[in-house]
């Protein structure tokens, strides 16, 4: 099963890097080996195949959709740093900025949020189905 070895080896390498405690690391690797023949590993493999197919797509909208969405989320999270500095220097201004952002986001109709969520999830599902069919 070379595909399985190709999947387990990198995950085991990640476990080595992110889990400092040797006992916890060994337990995580043991769980990974237990997954080896299970349906869960097949699910992970399918998900990774879909992600790789998306990334390798020649369509620029397809290959950039997920990273672009993540960059927007990162920007929103990183916005907390200047907001924290503004809050430390001028709490009233920071509160006004936060209130204005909340009012703006609440002003977007629920139907538009629903459309965005449905479209994004539908797009992701369609890409996954396409990748799974291509992998067979």
Q: Where are the domains of the chain?
A: 59-135
Provide the Cα torsion 45, 46, 50, 56; round to 10°: 50
pTM: 0.39
d(CA 62, CA 53): 10
Residue with tokens 């907001």: 83
d(CA 117, CA 47): 20
**pLDDT band for position 16 (50/70/90)?**
confident
H-state helical runs in 1-136: 2-18, 22-35, 39-55, 60-78, 80-89, 91-107, 110-135
The percentage of residues in the chain with a pLDDT greater than 90, rounded to a whole number, is 12
């Amino acid at each position: 099963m070379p595909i399985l070895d190709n999947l387990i080896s990198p995950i085991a390498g990640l476990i080595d890097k992110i889990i400092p405690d040797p006992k916890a690391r060994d337990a995580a690797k043991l769980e990974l080996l237990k997954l080896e023949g299970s349906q869960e590993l097949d699910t992970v493999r399918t998900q990774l195949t879909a992600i790789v197919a998306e990334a390798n797509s020649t369509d620029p909208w397809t290959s950039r959709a997920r990273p672009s969405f993540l960059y927007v989320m990162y920007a929103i999270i990183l916005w907390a740093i200047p907001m924290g500095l503004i809050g430390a220097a001028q709490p009233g201004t920071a509160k006004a900025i936060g209130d204005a952002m909340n009012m703006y986001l609440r002003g977007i109709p629920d139907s538009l949020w629903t459309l965005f969520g449905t479209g994004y999830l539908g797009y992701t599902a369609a890409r996954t189905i396409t990748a799974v069919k291509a992998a067979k």
